[in-house]
Structures are given as structure tokens and as C-alpha cells.
């Protein structure tokens, strides 16, 4: 059964109704604030990461319910290696923990799992868990769940520049043939539409090296809750805010 936007937004106190046309196709989320959520409760940071995993489960369910085509979640940045070893180790175990419990549901929901990021440096057990999810969902045709894992936008752009330069050096590409499509095709996100909406919970108002190229025209939504407290209603509110934005892409309406 497909989700009815009209039903949700025709509550008395809401003037707006969302037309399916103004629902973002691709939502990217910076899952931030786990540590502060835990500190607020006198818990170790790892408890925050665990609660963040529960929030991810809720958010995937909600995004799927709302008919979102692509959900990209920032799980671990190339800069997060700078954290204490014990925290990094814990974070690297989360993909296998999450997928052990949630992969059957993702498969049942026809979700296709992919990853954006560098495999280099990831522990073998992390790669194994992610690869299993990728291969078991490879033929699924529903929502794409893109894990940004060991992801850094600048590293991604450097990778693209290197690959394109190699093609030029090998003579298979001319310099004047390089265009935006070719650059995009060498990013981890090749083949995906650019995110329409970026959501960052936790109160921080920055991109932290996330999808710098791909977010060129995204609408930005900063939410004042820590990621473990992020719920269906926050996703709904962000989509509602998105539907009210006037996206001009540099042009004007005549
Ligand atoms: C996000 O929460 C999780 C990762 C970056 C892996 P944080 O761990 O950054 O939590 P805060 O920002 O310190 O509260
Ligand atoms: C961004 O959050 C990375 C992830 C959520 C995975 P950070 O907590 O690492 O970002 P900064 O350090 O506050 O910019
Ligand atoms: Mg943080």
C-alpha cells in the first residue's frame, strides 16, 4: 500500500498538503550527535552509537514508507579515524551488528544496499558484512540505502581526478571531453541522482566533508535533536519543509 501524503498533511492545524511531486527523491542524512546524546545521560559514547543504530532503523522504515527513492546515511567519515581506537573499533562493528538484525527486513522491503566510500582501511569483518548486504540485495528494485562509510568528499574528488587523469594519460579520454557528467561518474555516487535534501541533526550547521559535489543544489535542513532522538516525525517535518522550498537552480520564473 503506498503512503498517502494527503492523509498525513490534511490534519486541521496544517494548511499544506504535499504533492508526491514535491517529495525529495534522494535524502542524505548526517547521523550526528550520538556522543552528546550519551553524555547527556551519563552514558559512554558507545551507548549513543548504539541508540543511533536504532534511530537508523526507524528512519529507514519511515523513508521507505514515504516512498523515498534513495537514502544516503553518513555512518563514518574519513576524518573519524582520528577518534580513540576503542570508539573506532566499536563503530566498525556496527555495520555487521545492524545488518545481522536488519538485513532480513531490508530484503523483505526490497531495499537495495550500496556503499559510498573507500574500502581501504576498513576491517575485513566490516567489509564482509557490507558486501553480504550488497550482494543479497543487488537485484532489489525498491529504495536504495546508501551507506557512506569511510567516506570523505575531498578524498572522493581526488580519486575521481586521478582516474580521469589516468584515462587522459592512456589516451582514452581527451582533456576537452571532461565534463560534469564524467566527473560525477567517477564519484562513489556514480549513477545516483544528487540528493535533493540534506538533513543534519545535532545542531551543527556544517557539511563535515559530506557530498560536497553532490549537494550543489540540495536543500539543507538542520534539526535541533541528537541523531538517537531522530524520529519519523522529524523526517516528515523535513520533507514538509522541503516541499515548501522554491528551488530555482539559478534561473528565474517568467
Ligand atoms: C555521530 O555522532 C556518529 C559518528 C560520527 C560516527 P558523534 O559521535 O559525532 O556524536 P557527537 O557529535 O560527538 O555528539
Ligand atoms: C560527521 O560527523 C560524520 C558522521 C556523522 C559520520 P562528525 O561528528 O564527525 O563531524 P564534526 O567533527 O562535528 O564536523
Ligand atoms: Mg559529531
Please give the distance, rounded to the nearest whole angstrom, from the Cα atom of residue 40 to the centre of ligand 3.
Answer: 14
Of ligand 2's listed atoms, the one at least distance from the Cα of 151 is 6
The protein residue with its alpha carbon nearest to ligand 2, atom 12, reads 208
How far is C-alpha 71 from the chain's CA centre? 5
Kind of pairing between the strands at 144-151 and 112-116: parallel
Domain presence at residue 176 = no
Any catalytic annotation for residue 246? no
> From residue 87, how far is each of 9, 23, 35, 82, 175 by CA, in Å?
41, 36, 10, 10, 44
Identify whether the C-beta of residue 74 lies closer than 8 Å to the C-beta of residue 210.
yes
Q: Which atom of ligand 1 is nearest to the CA of 38?
A: 14
Quote the number of domains for the chain: 1
CATH code (residue 29): 3.40.1180.10
49-87 confidence digits (pLDDT tens)? 999 999 999 999 999 999 999 999 999 999 999 999 999
The number of the ligand 2 atom at minimal distance from the alpha carbon of 148 is 6
Residue 201 lies in a domain: yes
Q: Is residue 157 part of a domain?
A: no
**Confidence at residue 253, expressed as pLDDT on a 0 to 100 scale:** 87
Provide mean pLDDT across the span 139-165.
Answer: 98
Ligand 1 residue neighbourhood (C-beta within 6 Å): 31-36, 76, 80, 91, 202
pLDDT of residue 16: 56
Query: Cα(118)–Cα(230) distance, rounded to whole angstroms?
Result: 27
- Residue 11 pLDDT level (bands cut at 50, 70, 90): very low
Give the pLDDT confidence of 96-118 residue by residue, as tens digits.
Answer: 999 999 999 999 999 999 999 99
Residue nearest to atom 13 of ligand 1 (CA): 35
pLDDT band at 219 (very low <50, low <70, confident <90, very high): very high
Does residue 158 lie in a domain region?
Answer: no
Catalytic residue among 13, 21, 32, 246: 32
Give the ligand whose atoms come closest to the C-alpha of residue 52. 1
Q: Which residues of 115-132 are buried (b: 16+ CB within 10 A; e: fewer)?
A: bbbbeeebeeebbebbeb
Residue 9: pLDDT band with limits 50, 70, 90: low
Ligand closest to 147 (CA) is 2
Residues 6+ apart with CB under 8 A from 130: 95, 99, 113, 115, 147, 149
Q: Where in the sequence is the domain holding 88, given as residue range(s)?
A: 22-152+195-243
The answer to whether residue 226 is domain-embedded is yes
For the chain, the straight-line distance linking the first and the last C-alpha, in angstroms and rounded, comes to 39
Minimum-distance ligand to the CA of 40? 1
| Substitution site in 28, 29, 30, 39 for ligand 2 pocket (most atoms within 8 Å of beta carbon) | 30
* Within a domain: 43: yes
Nearest atom within ligand 1 for CA of residue 204: 12
Return the sign of the alpha-carbon dihedral for residues 236, 237, 238, 244: positive
Alpha carbon of 223 to ligand 1 centroid (Å): 15
In a domain, 251, yes or no: no
- Whole-number Cα distances in Å, 147 to 9, 65, 150, 168: 30, 19, 9, 31
Q: Is the pLDDT of residue 10 over 50?
A: no
Radius of gyration of the chain (CA): 19
32 classed as catalytic: yes
Structural domain includes residue 15: no
Give residue-wise pLDDT tens across range 229-254: 999 999 999 999 999 999 999 999 88
Amino acid at each position: 500500500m503506498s503512503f498517502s501524503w494527503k492523509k498525513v498533511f490534511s490534519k486541521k492545524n496544517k494548511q499544506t498538503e504535499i504533492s508526491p511531486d514535491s517529495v525529495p527523491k534522494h535524502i542524505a542524512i548526517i547521523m550526528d550527535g550520538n556522543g552528546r546524546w550519551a553524555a547527556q545521560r551519563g552514558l559512554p559514547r558507545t551507548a549513543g552509537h548504539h541508540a543511533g543504530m536504532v534511530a537508523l532503523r526507524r528512519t529507514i522504515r519511515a523513508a521507505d514508507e514515504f516512498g523515498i527513492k534513495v537514502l544516503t546515511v553518513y555512518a563514518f567519515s574519513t576524518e573519524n579515524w582520528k577518534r580513540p581506537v576503542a570508539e573506532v573499533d566499536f563503530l566498525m562493528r556496527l555495520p555487521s551488528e545492524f545488518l545481522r538484525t536488519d538485513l532480513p527486513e531490508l530484503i523483505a522491503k526490497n531495499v537495495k544496499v550500496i556503499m559510498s566510500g573507500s574500502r581501504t582501511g576498513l576491517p575485513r569483518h566490516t567489509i564482509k558484512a557490507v558486501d553480504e548486504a550488497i550482494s543479497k540485495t543487488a537485484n532489489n528494485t525498491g529504495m536504495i540505502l546508501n551507506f557512506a562509510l569511510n567516506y570523505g568528499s575531498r578524498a572522493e574528488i581526488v580519486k575521481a581526478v586521478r582516474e580521469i587523469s589516468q584515462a587522459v594519460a592512456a589516451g582514452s579520454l581527451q582533456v576537452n571531453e571532461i565534463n560534469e557528467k564524467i566527473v560525477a561518474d567517477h564519484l562513489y555516487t556514480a549513477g545516483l541522482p544528487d540528493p535533493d535534501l540534506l538533513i543534519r541533526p545535532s545542531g551543527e550547521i556544517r557539511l563535515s566533508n559530506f557530498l560536497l559535489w553532490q549537494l550543489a543544489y540540495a536543500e539543507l535542513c538542520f534539526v535541533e535533536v541528537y541523531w538517537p532522538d531522530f524520529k519519523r516525525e522529524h523526517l516528515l517535518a523535513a520533507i514538509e519543509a522541503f516541499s515548501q522550498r522554491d528551488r530555482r537552480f539559478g534561473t528565474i520564473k517568467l
